[in-house]
A and B are shown apart, each in its own frame.
Chain A
Amino acid sequence: MRKFFLALVAAALGSLALAQSGKLEIFSWWAGDEGPALQALIDLYKKRYPNVEVINATVTGGSGVNARAVLKTRMLGGDPPDSFQVHAGQELIGTWVVADRMEDLTPLFQQEGWMNRFPKGLIDLLSYKGKIYSVPVNIHRSNVMWYVPAKLREWGVQPPKTWAEFLTVCQTLKSKGLEAPLALGENWTQQHLWESVALGVLGANDYTNLWNGKLRFNDPKVVAVWNTFGRVLDCANKDASGLSWQQAVDRVLEGQAAFNIMGDWAAGYMTTTKGLKPGEGFGWAPAPGTAGVFMMLSDSFGLPKGVKNRTNVLNWLRLVGSKEGQDAFNPLKGSIAARTDSDPSKYNAYLQSAMRDWRNNRIVGSLVHGAVAPESFMSQFGTVMEIYLSGRNAQAASNAAQAIATQVRLGQ
């Protein structure tokens, strides 16, 4: 009788989500400033499933440089974390999906009704052979040009609309004694600049074709990108590789430079750390030639094959993709929700403008931040950049990029 009673209770509890128990290990590189945002998500999860022990396995290091190496040893060693943070798109697909390590999440997207909640351009970036592989939690914009409105008025220039215009403005500023009108930082920020130049010069269609293999890197159009890039670099500071992206932003705020091209985490830095008001202390515009296009990058979570706590992970993914989860996470992280139905009142002026663009603009993915090219390409693109910087030979850089693209089977 007693056994029967116990079984009944167990069955009753089992039918409730509350009864979920066990563990859930979340692997990410969100530490420091980004830690509280992740904690907000974890707190929400604990509220829903109090019996699950959440393990926050954070590996510090910006942009996941260290975390990815740790992740690789764990995956190859047969000990995958229950769910890991990864840049949405090819960084996940080209590395882990093609290696058959991830589970298809299309059924989850259909169950939760997410197919209409996320923009189609984004879902395309998350898909491989028609299946969706990760749940995006946030969106950052990569093609933003930052400036200080008061300074520009002082110099008598407008934010340039195209790269050709940018080069003219650059000459004007140089003639007014500004040594380096464009502030540039270390290695990856140079590649970050390159992708904005490429989008501005090629336009959204050809930029997209570059990544799906329809436009080759040694096409004259891409050689032209490198040539423009070289002339843009001539407007930048020479000590770039010694500066972090924050130091590059500082140069703009201090008036040593007029512009900086950086992702919109720069807005978070300027509002939170520097205490500036969006629109007054700093201004923004799409990178030259990219108005109407939103170059995105996104952090996402997926479901590795062979995890121990599959149901817990699915619940985690449901939370990550939910409106509640995204609106808890993003205002703290300084990014916008990937969903198009989030609540604008929770976000500041810059983020609200980004949300409007996110809903209306054409969406393309960022190269440096893992959306359009697999890790193997991204990493070796650094070598292409070196070939260009050491010889300033646009054709050689284009050939090298094509050689690497062929080798890693980009777009196939």
Chain B
Amino acid sequence: MNWFRNKDTLYGFLVILPSLILLGIFVYGFIFQTFYTSLTDWGRDPAQALSANPQIRFIGFENYRELFTGFVDARFRQDLVNTFFFTVFFILGCLGVGLGLAIVLDRSPKGEGFFRTIFLFPMSLSFIVTGTIWRWMLQPQGGVNQLPTLVGLPKGEFAWLTSREQIWQVSWNDLPFITALVVSVVLVFIAIAAFRGGERRRGYIATGSAALLLLWAFTLGRTLQPLPFDELHGFNLAFIGIILAAVWQMSGYTMALYLAGLRGIPEELREAARVDGASEWQLYQRIIFPLLAPITLSAMIILGHISLKIFDLIFAMAGADNAPTDVPALLMYLTTFRANQIAKGAAIGMILLLLVAAVIVPYLYSQLKSEVRR
């Protein structure tokens, strides 16, 4: 065993062994069990759902197929769309507000420490508390809607959290087509970057794949229709309230990250740029923002996985049953613990896991790679 070249490695291994075993059982074992459950029909027959020794049959990917194309699972598909829009606006909001605050604070205004604490404070609350506070403020009859009356204007009419209006509607049947378009745009960008970096082979491969994908999208992709009927999904305006609360809570965190990044940029760099005649805007555009890019990436990863698995904030703000503000995590709870559809709930859980993994794994991979390089 050349693993244990000396005693120290052996001791080291023995010390982490218990946690390896526990992780193996309670994380990976249970993930596997959930995955297996999602391939069964547990819960379809109410007589078996909660019996002491349920008879469970293996049905393959039937639950997944139903979730994406089944007639009664429209709610799940809307939830996926909700999650998409929520993630985009939540991340953009947090990054924008956080960066803005950090730039202001970086100029060392009076009472900087005080403001830093104020801005960071929401992060110390739990989402349940944030949700409860914002629920009061976003009552249709009160709170924010009453603000205009303070200056003599008529009160607001916006139905925070309860609106049923949708914008940017897209049919679920167009999804394969749109996905192909998005992926080919990404591939084109990769190709351009590769050509610029002089990696011609990579560039050709990326261009070729993009072309193939586009060809497929405009020919066969149009005929691939998951549903026999058109089903429109879009951005629920009711989510605006949730996004506001979530950005309020987490932008302090991005501010702290950016502030640390800004403080880490040596003064000499800025001075050198100023001496070279750079305007303040050019200084930010050319020097500071590029240096902040790694921080943006880390913030996006952290915020991204928070938004994908968000549950408590929405539960507290709008309740589990309010469909316009539903997300997959809430639906998983309802499906498993209210409707007793245990296998289908497990399937939703697995899809969530895959989504979060799609965000986290590339990040971990790049981190590991850079550590090895060091």
Chain B residue at smallest Cβ distance from A237: B140
Task: Give the residue of B45, B318, B321, B337 whose beta carbon is less than 8 angstroms from that of A69.
Answer: B337
Q: Flag B297-322 by CB within 8 Å of A: 1 or 0 each.
A: 00000000000000000000011111
Q: A76-B50, A96-B50 are in contact. Are A380 and B162 (CB under 8 A)?
A: no
Task: Give the residue of B72, B140, B159, B335 whose beta carbon is less than 8 angstroms from that of A400.
Answer: B72
Interface residues of B in 251-298 (CB under 8 A from A): none
Task: For the complex, give the distance between the alpha carbons of A3 and B43 in Å.
Answer: 56
Judge whether B116 is part of the interface by a CB distance below 8 angstroms. no
Q: A94-B46, A95-B50, A99-B48 are in contact. Are A380 and B339 (CB under 8 A)?
A: yes
29 cross-chain CB contacts under 8 A: A65-B338, A68-B338, A69-B338, A72-B340, A95-B46, A98-B46, A98-B51, A99-B50, A100-B47, A100-B51, A100-B52, A188-B321, A239-B159, A241-B162, A242-B160, A243-B140, A375-B338, A376-B340, A376-B341, A379-B335, A380-B72, A382-B334, A383-B72, A386-B74, A386-B75, A386-B323, A387-B74, A400-B72, A407-B44
Chain B residue at smallest Cβ distance from A244: B319
Task: Give the residue of B164, B318, B321 whose beta carbon is less than 8 angstroms from that of A389.
Answer: B164
Q: A100-B52, A101-B52, A380-B72 are in contact. Are A186 and B340 (CB under 8 A)?
A: no
Task: For the complex, give the distance between the alpha carbons of A376 and B339 in Å.
Answer: 4
Task: Give the residue of B72, B75, B159 whose beta carbon is less than 8 angstroms from that of A242.
Answer: B159
Interface residues of B in 139-189 (CB under 8 A from A): 139-141, 159-162, 164
Q: Which residues of A contact B322 (CB under 8 A)?
A: 186-187, 241
Task: For the complex, give the distance between the alpha carbons of A99 and B51 in Å.
Answer: 4
Task: Give the shortest distance, in Å, between A54 (CB) and chain B (any CB).
Answer: 26
Judge whether B324 is part of the interface by a CB distance below 8 angstroms. yes
Chain B residue at smallest Cβ distance from A187: B321
Judge whether A238 is part of the interface by a CB distance below 8 angstroms. yes
Nearest 5 A/B pairs, CB to CB: A379-B339, A99-B51, A187-B321, A239-B140, A379-B338
Judge whether B237 is part of the interface by a CB distance below 8 angstroms. no
Task: For the complex, give the distance between the alpha carbons of A407 and B320 in Å.
Answer: 23
Interface centre among A101, A241, A374 (most CB of B within 10 A): A241
Judge whether A390 is part of the interface by a CB distance below 8 angstroms. yes
Q: Flag A383-412 by CB within 8 Å of B: 1 or 0 each.
A: 110110110000000011001100111000
A68 and B337: CB pair below 8 A?
Answer: yes
Q: Which residues of B contact A10 (CB under 8 A)?
A: none
Judge whether A75 is part of the interface by a CB distance below 8 angstroms. yes
Judge whether B30 is part of the interface by a CB distance below 8 angstroms. no
A383 and B75: CB pair below 8 A?
Answer: yes
Task: Give the residue of B46, B71, B319, B323 whose beta carbon is less than 8 angstroms from that of A408.
Answer: B46
Q: Flag B13-55 by CB within 8 Å of A: 1 or 0 each.
A: 0000000000000000000000000000001111111111010
A186 and B159: CB pair below 8 A?
Answer: no
A101 and B50: CB pair below 8 A?
Answer: yes
Q: Which residues of B contact A403 (CB under 8 A)?
A: 71-72
Looking at chain A's contact residues, the main secondary structure is helix
User: Footprint of B on A, CB under 8 Å?
Assistant: 65, 68-69, 72, 75-76, 78, 94-96, 98-101, 186-188, 238-243, 374-376, 379-380, 382-384, 386-387, 389-390, 399-400, 403-404, 407-409
Interface centre among A98, A239, A243, A375 (most CB of B within 10 A): A239
Task: For the complex, give the distance between the alpha carbons of A374 and B47 in Å.
Answer: 11
Task: Give the residue of A375, A389, A390 whose beta carbon is less than 8 angstroms from that of B339.
Answer: A375
User: Footprint of A on B, CB under 8 Å?
Assistant: 43-52, 54, 71-72, 74-75, 139-141, 159-162, 164, 318-324, 334-335, 337-341
Q: Which residues of A contact B160 (CB under 8 A)?
A: 242
Q: Which residues of A contact B140 (CB under 8 A)?
A: 239, 242-243
Task: For the complex, give the distance between the alpha carbons of A172 and B15 in Å.
Answer: 79
Q: Which residues of A contact B162 (CB under 8 A)?
A: 239-242
Task: For the complex, give the distance between the alpha carbons of A404 and B339 in Å.
Answer: 11
B44 and A399: CB pair below 8 A?
Answer: no
Q: Which residues of B contact A374 (CB under 8 A)?
A: 46
Q: Which residues of A contact B319 (CB under 8 A)?
A: 186-187
Q: Which residues of A contact B47 (CB under 8 A)?
A: 98-100
Task: Give the shortest distance, in Å, between A206 (CB) and chain B (any CB).
Answer: 23
Q: Which residues of A contact B335 (CB under 8 A)?
A: 379
Chain A residue at smallest Cβ distance from B231: A391
Task: Give the residue of A69, A186, A409 whose beta carbon is less than 8 angstroms from that of B46.
Answer: A409
Task: Give the shortest distance, in Å, between B69 (CB) and chain A (any CB).
Answer: 13
A238 and B159: CB pair below 8 A?
Answer: yes
Task: Give the shortest distance, in Å, between B215 (CB) and chain A (any CB).
Answer: 35
* Extra contacts besides A382-B323, A408-B46 (9): CB < 8 Å: A69-B338, A95-B49, A187-B321, A242-B159, A242-B162, A376-B49, A379-B340, A403-B72, A407-B44
Q: Which residues of B contact A386 (CB under 8 A)?
A: 74-75, 323
Task: Give the shortest distance, in Å, between A396 (CB) and chain B (any CB).
Answer: 9
A399 and B50: CB pair below 8 A?
Answer: no
A382 and B141: CB pair below 8 A?
Answer: no
Task: Give the shortest distance, in Å, between A63 (CB) and chain B (any CB).
Answer: 11
Task: Give the shortest distance, in Å, between B169 (CB) and chain A (any CB).
Answer: 11
Task: For the complex, give the distance between the alpha carbons of A400 and B72 in Å.
Answer: 6
B49 and A186: CB pair below 8 A?
Answer: no
Task: Give the shortest distance, in Å, between A379 (CB) and chain B (any CB).
Answer: 4
Task: Give the residue of B44, B164, B334 whose beta carbon is less than 8 angstroms from that of A390.
Answer: B164
Task: For the complex, give the distance between the alpha carbons of A98 and B335 in Å.
Answer: 19
